[in-house]
Amino acid sequence: MREQVRQQFDVVHEKNVPMKTRDGTTLYADVVRPDIPGRLPVLLTRTPYGKDTSMLNNEGSAFFLARHGYVTVVQDCRGRFTSEGEYYPMVNDIEDGYDAVDWAARLPWSNGRVGTFGQSYMGASQYMMARNNPMPPQLQAMIPVSAAADYYQGWVYHTGGAMLWGWAVPYAVLKGRNTLERLGRDDLLAKMDEYVEQGTNFSQPLREEWFRHVPISDWAELLKETAPYFEDYINNSDDGEYWSQVNVNHNAKNISVPMLHVSSWYDIFLEGALNGYQSVKSDSEHTQARRGQKLFIGPWGHLFPFVQPTSQGTGDIDFGPEALVDLHDLHLRWYDYWLKDFETGVMDDPPVTVFTMGENRWQTLEDWPPPNANYVRWYLHSDGKANTLNGDGSLSTVPPGDEPTDSYLYDPDDPVPTLGGANLSIPLGVQDQSPVENRQDVLVFTSDPMERPLEVTGPIKVHLWAASTTPDTDFTAKLVDVRPDGYAQNLQDGIIRARYRDSTTTPTLIEADRVYEYTIDLWATSNVFLPGHRIRLEISSSNFPRFDRNPNTGARFGDDAVMQTANQTVHHRGEFPSHVLLPIIPR
């Protein structure tokens, strides 16, 4: 290894450089390279949003990395903007990604060593390159940012089987605009504008009536030209072979490349970084890949900026000056080590870096999940009236005795509204949850105030014993940090569709009024409950439009035009000890 030396160069911008895929389709890329002689490592990203748009910002990643001695390639995915072919998300990015790496390694400015970069879809397309077996031999370093590794349980649907409704439909509409432009369908472009509040971008969601439109299967017809793949999403509501092809965790043993997985606590695709890191580190057959996995989690929402992500950018909370980091610098340390053989110190750092909210500080960990976490059960208690934040629900480490049940009516026509969270296309991040906690269909369980700081860092699961009067339904959970002034800060949330309580691949309906154990995955967080703060857990059956509404009928997903109400009963006593399992870090 050599000592890291950073230089900056003028750059040359080559436009519309063609590449032929193995099936003869021509894809086009822009190349930004240092204006110096010689061959250099290449950094590749592949986008469905238009490379020309990416190139409008000459302070963006492609130009920044090129100025620091890399040939950067920004390629339009198949069927998008300048590239030929038909667009089908992720599936085509597997072989096309392999071909793009092989082509980039042979460019006249390349020394044959290739890395990848990119955020969101451009992060997911990196994970798709890792689905190749074997992976491209020229590929030596990757940094997937804000991307799902499991396309079923992290992008279209959610862990627990509900569709990410507030994201999936607006996103299909957004990307469909280019599809219709390529087809010359100005009539449908005008029709699409009826779906949204103003124009079509990530911050402008569907009109309320379109979010609520049923049956869901109608969207297959509405989007048949705009996003024809959406019908496949609806028809494959169970996990299985269709989704396995785009699940990088299923290929972890074959992954041979070091990866820096980057995400944030309020990122809709947090699952990808957490599971991608764990699956490759534990399952890869390649020593360098196992040793070369790093995880970096900040406090932001999705699409955080690379240069000094804002300390605020996640709803109501300002996470302070410590949240300001330069991710471009982190990228250079990674690439310079793996692609230029510079000693940057990046591999001397502990493998995991996370931002701990509450105390608003960064900390490093020896692994994920944190090896020193103690998993403590915080049990649900009440005298049968836990409805609303003014009810008698409580949360403690004392196991329940012979306690009455709590009940509420879940009406899909009047769902609990989404207030922030790990969203995209609808408002995201931190919001005060008090408005939804005033609803009768939300059970609220709150601890006593903390006497000393309590750190929760790691994965979180709720084990809920509950019954319903319907053959299928949903149960939701939300972990909340309640400040002394009453502000209820959402930390993480999750959902379980009753039919998927045992398996997302083999659904089974439930018997009316029978008590089942449901496991609700809240993914993970890192938060210190400060003195005077309280831990709160909300239990309900909807979080809309973040998740689609369960119509409670037990019919095939998407078929229902009419919904029915469900009477829900939550148990917490010796036989049915409902609780949230929190990873407590000893102090």
Task: Kindly give, in sequence order, each residue whose CB lies less than 8 Å from that of residue 420, ignoring residues fewer than 6 positions away.
Answer: 266, 315, 316, 427, 428, 429, 430, 431, 490
For residue 475, what are its two tokens?
Answer: 């149960």
Q: 352, 365 in Cβ contact below 8 A?
A: yes
Give the DSSP letter string of 184-223.
Answer: T-HHHHHHHTTTBSSSSSTTS-B-HHHHT-S-TTHHHHHT
Instruction: Pick the catalytic residue from 30, 76, 150, 267.
Output: 267
Q: Strand (E) positions, 163-312?
A: 259-266, 293-301
Exposure class string for 128-163: b at 16+ Cβ within 10 A, else e: bbbbbeebbebbbbbbbbbbbbbbbbbbbbbbbbbb
Instruction: Pick the catalytic residue from 158, 261, 302, 463.
Output: 302
CA distance 38 to 249: 38
CA distance 20 to 25: 6
Whether 413 is a known active-site residue: answer no
Secondary structure (3-state) at 375: strand
Instruction: Pick the catalytic residue from 54, 61, 120, 382.
Output: 120
For residue 44, what are its two tokens?
Answer: 């590749």
Sheet holding 361-365, edge to edge: 11-20, 26-34, 71-76, 40-47, 110-116, 139-142, 259-266, 293-301, 352-356, 361-365
Whether 120 is a known active-site residue: answer yes
State how far the alpha carbon of 345 is from the alpha carbons of 258, 350, 362, in Å. Answer: 15, 11, 18
Task: Kindly give, in sequence order, each residue whose CB lies less than 8 Å from that of residue 91, ignoring residues fewer than 6 positions away.
Answer: 245, 246
Whether 542 is a known active-site residue: answer no
309 phi/psi in degrees, rounded to 5 = -50, 135
302 phi/psi in degrees, rounded to 5 = -70, 155
Task: Kindly give, in sequence order, each residue whose CB lies less than 8 Å from that of residue 241, ignoring residues fewer than 6 positions away.
Answer: none
CA distance 11 to 31: 10
For residue 396, what are its two tokens?
Answer: 């403690």
- Residue positions annotated with a catalytic role: 120, 267, 302
